[in-house]
Chain A
């Protein structure tokens, strides 16, 4: 029983000429959810958002908002408000006029608008700044004005296109919390677009991972991070080490992978792929840097990896060890700094161990670019 208006994409295709920007997307977004589309730049995120807001008509398939087919309904008639990547505040209007532009359209009096603007300015912690021009505000303040302007239209669904990408790191992290709070307060559906997995993981109820127009996986942050459906999702979300190989044996929901470099290793088959991987299949296995522990020198078995250390670095909260890895890519290991003594291993072979639950295997596929 969710309040709020849901959004559904059904077999959504968007083509520009011969180019397919979105391929057969199927997404159900619950009302009141904070839902993120996460993917590298150019994968079609903005295109999806434009289809939801009505600036683009689907080439095929349907967009439903609150269960209603939006076909033929223009952006000015949809219950959505879009926050643009560059905010698109009106430079010649004062902050309060910007915020209440949607009310002006509906013919509200200046007095009403002023009142509403002041309420919203209080909400975004910019009280008394209504008479400034957008150019007189800082980046973070402009960001908040854009949010207030969108909320003032009282949309059922708020669409945000990488709204934090122009901010510096500190502010970005602060705004994450703030956005999440605003969303919980107003209780409407947020559809958020980002190429930053940190943003997606910290804010979202659910995430869709996208690659080149295709949605690879939909799930909550923990699922996406711990139980990736594809090699792309595993390598794009968070840091991950890949081991290529072939399935040697399947044992229920675990598999033994004959890896190219590190012998036979055991891994959990990710939920989406259980029952779908069989002996002899090309496979990829992923273990996160923080899932390794140092093991006694020379220990062998299906959950030990031995490799030569290229270099090491001290990161404060962790010691990072970079070792010779698979496919020319370094194998990264992070040992948390708990005050233990830590020898320099550069040039030596060391042995690592992991727990099976922390290794996940999926069918071989394309990895995310660095």
Chain B
């Protein structure tokens, strides 16, 4: 038995230790790793009617992956332009949502973390309480706000800024707002946590030595907050790339999110292997992208956990 395990059992007792270890293993292996592995397995199989499963035709194949790139065999186009387009647009949009979110949340997190007083707690509550409401309801609420006769359009038309209502939905503004808002807390809290532990004297020391506010943030606060920023950005990026409800409800008719394609494969086409392949591609691409960006900004994996 490795020494850290022995230490673990000594501290918690054998009974309690086994129970905790068992639950953790069940959680990671049973609920996360095995289902993902079976998805991976699915993605390499043909879509067969139930009687043929396990039969001679049930062999491993890369057909499903080829489909994403090249489209149906013998199709009119040499590439699956539609799906690939959606795929890349989704990634770019998720990056944009993440950047937009960061720009919005960093000042909020900084303000929350560096200001003392009771009103801060109220402010934080006001951020948290809306999240008690179901995600789908929140999305519909935004749809109403951004709708043709919604608050925004009433205001803009009322103020005479626009003559006719602006179509926020068709122009995807509602979608970006919805995605941005959906993960605001996941961006704010990691950054808040790190900045809260930043010694205020460091900010004052920089100021004392003549630094402007931009310089203070650039040289003192942001480097210090980097683990929180990376943690927030990773979560927001992963979750917006994988979001389904917001694009479904707030997306314009012409703009599909890649998750919607996956959903269609599973649900409408009953093609689980195809859906699984799409999902795997999305997951792997997102992970690689995150790793590459972490590398670019010299962030360690350990920092993400902060």
Contact A88 B209 (CB under 8 A): no
Contact B223 A92 (CB under 8 A): yes
Contact A88 B204 (CB under 8 A): yes
Segment 98-148 of A: residues with Cβ below 8 Å from B: 101-102, 104-106
Q: Does A319 lie at the interface of the complex (its beta carbon under 8 Å from any beta carbon of B)?
A: no
Chain A hits for B38, CB < 8 A: none
Contact B202 A75 (CB under 8 A): no
Q: Which of A88, A89, A91, A153 contacts B210 (CB 8 A)?
A: A153
Q: Does A204 lie at the interface of the complex (its beta carbon under 8 Å from any beta carbon of B)?
A: no
Segment 34-93 of B: residues with Cβ below 8 Å from A: none
Q: Report if A81-B208 is in contact (Cβ < 8 Å); known contacts: A92-B223, A105-B215.
A: yes
Q: Bound state CA distance, A183 and B210, in angstroms? A: 22
B interface SS class: helix
Contact A88 B212 (CB under 8 A): no
Per-residue CB contact flags for chain B residues 192-214 toward chain A (1 = under 8 Å, else 0) read 00000001011011111111100
Contact A84 B205 (CB under 8 A): yes
Q: Which of B199, B204, B223 contacts A75 (CB 8 A)?
A: B204
What's the tally of chain A residues with a CB closer than 8 Å to chain B? 25
Q: Does A218 lie at the interface of the complex (its beta carbon under 8 Å from any beta carbon of B)?
A: no
Contact B211 A88 (CB under 8 A): no
Contact B220 A75 (CB under 8 A): no
Q: Does B224 lie at the interface of the complex (its beta carbon under 8 Å from any beta carbon of A)?
A: yes
Chain B hits for A55, CB < 8 A: 204, 208
Q: Report if A76-B211 is in contact (Cβ < 8 Å); known contacts: A84-B205, A86-B201, A88-B199.
A: yes
Q: Which residue of A lies closest to B226 (CB)?
A: A92
Q: Bound state CA distance, A262 and B209, in angstroms? A: 57
Q: Bound state CA distance, A101 and B216, in angstroms? A: 11
Q: Report if A92-B199 is in contact (Cβ < 8 Å); known contacts: A76-B208, A76-B210.
A: no
Q: Bound state CA distance, A86 and B205, in angstroms? A: 11
Q: Which of B201, B204, B206, B224 contacts A101 (CB 8 A)?
A: B206
Chain A hits for B211, CB < 8 A: 76, 101, 105
Q: Which of B212, B219, B223 contacts A76 (CB 8 A)?
A: B212
Segment 50-91 of A: residues with Cβ below 8 Å from B: 53, 55, 74-77, 80-82, 84-86, 88-91
Q: Which of B202, B205, B212 has the most A CB atoms < 10 Å from its CB?
A: B205
Chain B hits for A77, CB < 8 A: 210
Q: Bound state CA distance, A60 and B231, in angstroms? A: 47
Segment 100-122 of B: residues with Cβ below 8 Å from A: none
Least distance between B208 CB and chain A CB atoms (Å): 5
Contact A81 B202 (CB under 8 A): no
Q: Report if A86-B199 is in contact (Cβ < 8 Å); known contacts: A92-B223, A92-B224, A105-B215.
A: yes
Q: Which residue of A lies closest to B220 (CB)?
A: A90
Q: Which residue of A lies closest to B204 (CB)?
A: A55
Q: Bound state CA distance, A153 and B224, in angstroms? A: 23
Segment 221-256 of B: residues with Cβ below 8 Å from A: 223-224
Q: Which of A85, A91, A93, A101 contacts B209 (CB 8 A)?
A: A101
Contact A88 B201 (CB under 8 A): yes
Least distance between A51 CB and chain B CB atoms (Å): 13
Contact A75 B208 (CB under 8 A): yes
Least distance between B152 CB and chain A CB atoms (Å): 39
Segment 227-261 of A: residues with Cβ below 8 Å from B: none
Chain B hits for A88, CB < 8 A: 199, 201-202, 204-205
Q: Bound state CA distance, A77 and B208, in angstroms? A: 8
Q: Which of A76, A89, A90, A106 contacts B207 (CB 8 A)?
A: A76
Q: Report if A102-B202 is in contact (Cβ < 8 Å); known contacts: A90-B220, A92-B223, A92-B224.
A: no
Which 8 pairs, one residue from A and one from B, show the smallest C-beta to C-beta distance? A88-B201, A102-B209, A88-B205, A76-B210, A84-B201, A105-B210, A82-B208, A88-B202
Q: Show 10 residue pairs from A and B whose CB-CB distance is below 8 angstroms, ordered by the A residue.
A: A53-B208, A55-B208, A75-B204, A76-B208, A77-B210, A82-B208, A90-B205, A90-B220, A101-B219, A105-B211
Given contacts A90-B205, A101-B219, 9 further A-B contacts (CB under 8 A): A76-B210, A81-B209, A86-B201, A88-B205, A90-B206, A90-B219, A92-B223, A92-B224, A105-B212
